[in-house]
Amino acid sequence: GLLRKLENSAYREPVPLEQLPDDLRERVTGGRLFIVTKANAESTVHRARRMDYVGVKQLSPSGQVVGERRFIGLFTTKALSAPVEEIPILRHKLRQVLELHQAIPGSHDHKAIVAAFNGMPREELFWSDASQIHADIRTILRLEREQAVRLTLRTDPLKRGLAVMVIMPKGHFSDAVRQKVQEHLRRRLDARRVDSRLAIGEDEGHARFHFFFATDVQATPELASELEREVQSLARSWHEELRALLVERYGEAEGAALAARYLGAFDDRFRADVTPARALVDVGHLERLRATSHVIDLIGPEPGEGAADAPATLIVYHRDHGLALSDVLPLLENLGFRVLEQNPYNLTVEGEHRGMDVYSVFDTQGATVDVATHGPRLVAALERLLRGEAENDRLNRLVLHAGLTVRQVALVRLYQMYYAQIDPATSRSFVTDALLAHPELAALLVLYFETRFDPAFDGATTPTEARLQALAELEQRFVDGLANVKSLAEDQVLRGLLDLMRATVRASYFQEHERISIKIDSGAVDKMPEPRPLYEIAVASRGVEGTHLRGGKVARGGIRWSDRPDDFRTEVLGLLKTQTTKNAVIVPVGSKGGFVVKRAPAGGDLREHVRAQYQTYIRGLLDLTDNLVDGRVVRPEGLVIYDDDDPYLVVAADKGTATFSDLANQTAAEYGFWLGDAFASGGSAGYDHKKMGITARGAWEAVKRHFAEEGVDVHRDTFTVVAIGDMSGDVFGNGMLYTDRIRLQAAFNHMHVFLDPDPDPVSSYAERRRLFELPRSTWDDYDRSLISEGGGVFERSAKSIPLSPQVRAMLGVEDEALSGQALIQAVLRMPVDLLWNGGIGTYVKAGEERHGEVGDSANDGVRVNGAELRARVVGEGGNLGFTQLGRIEYALRGGRINTDAIDNSAGVDSSDHEVNIKILLQPLTASGGLAQEQRNALLADMTDEVARLVLRHNHDQARALSLALRYSRKDPALYASLLDYLVESAGLNPRVEFLPTARQLEERRRNGEGFTRPELAIMLAYVKMGLYRRLLETELPGEPHLQHYLHDYFPHQLRERYPEAIEQHRLKREITATVITNTLVDHLGIAFVHRGMRDNGASAIEVVRAALIALEVLETRAFFERVEALGATVDAEAQYEAIAHLVSAVESVVSWMLFNNVGLGDFEHAVGKYRAPLQALRAELRTYLTEGQRERFDARVAGLVEQGFGADLAADIAGLDHMASAFGIIEVAGSTGEGVADA
């Protein structure tokens, strides 16, 4: 054992008893035969404590002590914690104590003695005799009836120290008292070491300290009395001391009130751990909880030796329920703390819960937190985090490591988020890593931003020379700092963040809203993906993140609730591309917005949460937007602005925001925004797209043209349909109710697959209407009795769906069962007349595309390739149903398809009319000339007229594409030249828009193919956008003679009642330019202006000016109306041929005018000079022709009449070949004074 090494013993050689010191000789030869106590030596294993000593005397036959067997070691934890009843020696001593006290079993004294006995240190119980223990317990019991401090003193049996028991009322007890008592006794007894133990019984009114002091001092009654008096003076009541401190700090009245409120709230453990002086501070913080949910205190280590390596103390005070460590720990770790331990204290203050959670913390590197430097920022940050007023992520470490405030971190987080949105290949996590790896550069970025946008820098709201100079110096410091960045990837991210800040032209940061929004000059950002908007706004708050992209200063488009938090900008950019081409038909260029919600309620009302976040997002946009007050631009407060005036901002509904227009207008009203309820179209005082069915009706204009070109009348002939969506949707529901000739064989949405192999058009139409009129419906609500044999409604998620023979025949498959996803693919591939997209999702791509490139992972399992479709016609009522390459692939295989931008433009067109009508009427309502109720009634009265104007655009654009397809096949070189021109001069990126290269066009030419309708749709949009911009650069939109184009935009009710208001419209130039653009491109073709420039060496505006004169002189509007009135009585191809003759006539007249410099002056004069003479000449044209010309003319007329044209219209068409000559005749007649017949 431990004593086996005799060489270590002081008595390795026998020593006669008489040579031993008296006390040691007495101990060896006398005393107890069995002893349990503590040795002086510490254990070197397991626990660093004095070893337990068990001694058993050896006796001779005569009873003399002849030796001792000693056992040295440590009692196990189990032995020390075992109940007294399980230890025979102690059980015997307890029985002796009870007998000495004559305690009656079951009495109060009996129970109290047992409890006190169990609470005493085991080692004392072992070596104390029953009488000594009884004396201590009597002292303990007596103090139950006395509020006094007592001390007992007992010498160790081995004379190696003193056992001291200090007993005091709980109210006097605290850890500070314990420490003071221990330290005082250690000094008084000159102790070499101290062992201590605290005992506080639940039912006892006192606390006991059990000390063992290793000392040579011996116990005497006098010493015990002295020490007791000294300890009594030290053991001032914790409550009394705290009460005195409260009165000293707060005054007698308030201090007494606080004492009454809190003294009873602090339990024994709290008083044991916390000094009254610290409790005084705690009371102050706890009082603050009356006004807030959390209070934080951060305390550095006590000064002195070891403070540099000691943890700081973080205290979280809170009310109501306790804080779960799993909730708080991530907050602390993300702030840069490493938590060593937590000690919670639960208090009840006047019946209300209060809590204190005490944490010992280092920083993440294990170093002591510099509380003096970082404390206030860390406390402020944690308070906001616990109240939910700041976001919790690793970027918060910049508070500690970069010296930023939590508000500044929110700014960094906005740029981190948006950089990752612009460059989806770089994750937010990596951006965070780069910033945390270089906190000094993160701090420089914030300083750069604040220098750029802080209005207090020099008081100016636009950049000054001093500000720009300071920015240049900071930028150089940042670039110099990048030299210390070893990682190329991190370098690129940090440079990208600076680049993004440099491109920021407005920021709401200093408006002190919780939300932060920034406006970016997209063209100035190096890594900005194509196509680049003109401007974009990023918005971020705790609950929402979003973007708004604008193609120009006058732009409009919908705002969608996105479900793609990692790449919502990519989603919105894709929609912007569609919106940009879609908006080519209306006044504003394209814009698009999207937002994602964060911190969505788990069990609450998600819709209300989304509405609230949508409103935050809208406010973020308006925070940066100029206003108009009395015709004057007023800029927002708190901004330093690096761009021009920018007051035009309108929004519209999109996915997830269909009912939010009134909310958007209500929000705009908070800002007094000049557009009023024109800010968001489609509200309660606007045009309801679903009730109008306008988007679906517009798409049907395109579908009707596709079918008409195949000789199908959708209101007369039945046709089969496969559709995406369900009857609760606007575009799907209205689309499937457009005509009762539809035979809907299959449809699907995100839940169900609907199959009806042989539907009855009439009964199925009625059932679809019933579903449409329900408040909400799915395919599961469809009356099964109306579904034809073999059909049904199935779960899209089903693992296996059995297929009836009828369904297999319809789908053209042999499988007897398919999964829900495979069934949808079969539905998309089935032979059908029309594939109608009225839903959400991208279901068709090109074979060369990967699913990951599509950006709609939810539908990867059902998506098919364009080449696999067997539908004859596609109608794209919904957005993004096809990728552009998917459309092209389908079209190259003979499918009839435009683009979603062409097919569903009626919705945005309707909204544009609403906005511009409201802008027109706003001055009238503001002046009192038109009451709001009257205005609303007028808007409602114009619904049908607005729909007519909008659908005319859909009709004309679909026809323009059919003509472009026809012309491009006849003259592919012209359209290839047009494409090159658009690339060079109109900002068209053929790679982004998936337009064919010269090599691809040559391959197509060899295969008898050319441009497809989807490609021509893109070119049509860019032609319109380019022409619109050119017009606005000139005075043409203000030309008095062209103002009829402005008036033509508006419903006849406004033209008749408010012509002056139309003339004063704030966007009259833009509206006029839009209508002129649509007229020229839709009527004369997308290559008309380009051909005129190429063939005549003229500018675009010169060609346009001449064409506008020619259109009026030739009365082309009446011509188109006469051709369209023919309807299905004349073959579509014959009608296109007639229009081609008109276009050729206009081209020849334009060439004549440009060659002869005619029409360069006043419009009115030019039109007046030629119109009347031309009318007269055309009426008698046949009489002016030569015999050969007359024969050809008559043959042409006869052929047209045979095709179904009326005789008069046929004659006008035939006469178009002579229009250029007619202008020459009129010119000669005018210059010579001769009549037209003579000329």
What residues act catalytically?
592
Strand (E) or helix (H) holding 194:
strand 193-200
**Cis (ω within 30 of 0) for the bond into 990?**
no
CA dihedral 624, 625, 626, 627 (to 10 degrees): -130
**Alpha carbon of residue 704 to chain centroid:** 40
Q: Are 1172 and 1217 in contact, with CB atoms under 8 Å apart?
A: no
CA proximity to 621, closest of 591, 656, 597: 591
Contact 777, 765 (CB under 8 A): no
Distance CA 303, CA 306 (A): 8
For residues 703 and 724, give the distance between their C-alpha atoms in angstroms, rounded to a whole number: 16
Token reading at 1203: 């095709």
Joined together, the tokens standing for residue 834 give: 């029309």
Nearest partner of 353 among 390, 308, 314, 322, judged by Cα:
322
List Cβ neighbours of 237 (8 Å cut-off, separation of 6 or more): 169, 171, 172
Backbone angles phi, psi at 1036, to 5 degrees: -55, -40
Three-state secondary structure string covering 724-766: ECCCCCHHHHHHCCCCCCEEEEEEECCCEEEECCCCCHHHHHH
8 Å CB contact between 559 and 680: no
Sign, CA torsion 139/143/145/146: positive
CB count in 10 Å sphere of residue 458: 13
In angstroms and rounded to an integer, the radius of gyration of the C-alpha atoms of the chain is: 46
List, as one string, the DSSP characters of 650-682.
Answer: -BB--TT-TT-HHHHHHHHHHTT-TTGGGSBTT
Among the listed residues 726, 563, 731, 743, the one whose alpha carbon sits nearest the alpha carbon of residue 658: 731
Residue type, 675: L
Closest among 707, 700, 681 to 586, alpha carbons compared:
681
Tokens of 955: 């009709």
What is the number of residues in the chain?
1239
3 state DSSP class of 209: strand
* Whether the Cβ atoms of residue 658 and residue 678 lie closer than 8 Å to each other: no
Cβ count near 917 (within 10 Å): 25
The SS3 call for residue 448 is: helix
Whole-angstrom distance, CA of residue 289 vs CA of residue 286: 5
Give the separation between CA 1012 and CA 997, rounded to whole angstroms. Answer: 13
Query: Per-residue DSSP letters for 794-861?
Result: EETT-S-EE--HHHHHHHT---SEE-HHHHHHHHHHS-EEEEEE-SSS--EE-TTS-HHHHT-GGGTT
Answer for the pair 333, 385: CB distance below 8 angstroms, yes or no: no
- Show Cβ contacts of residue 657 under 8 Å, excluding neighbours closer than 6 positions: 558, 559, 560, 561, 614
108-114: which pairs have CB atoms within 8 A and are 24 or more residues apart? 109/141, 112/140, 112/141, 112/144, 113/137, 113/141, 114/84
Strand partners, 538: 518, 547
- Alpha-carbon gap, residue 803 to 717, rounded angstroms: 29
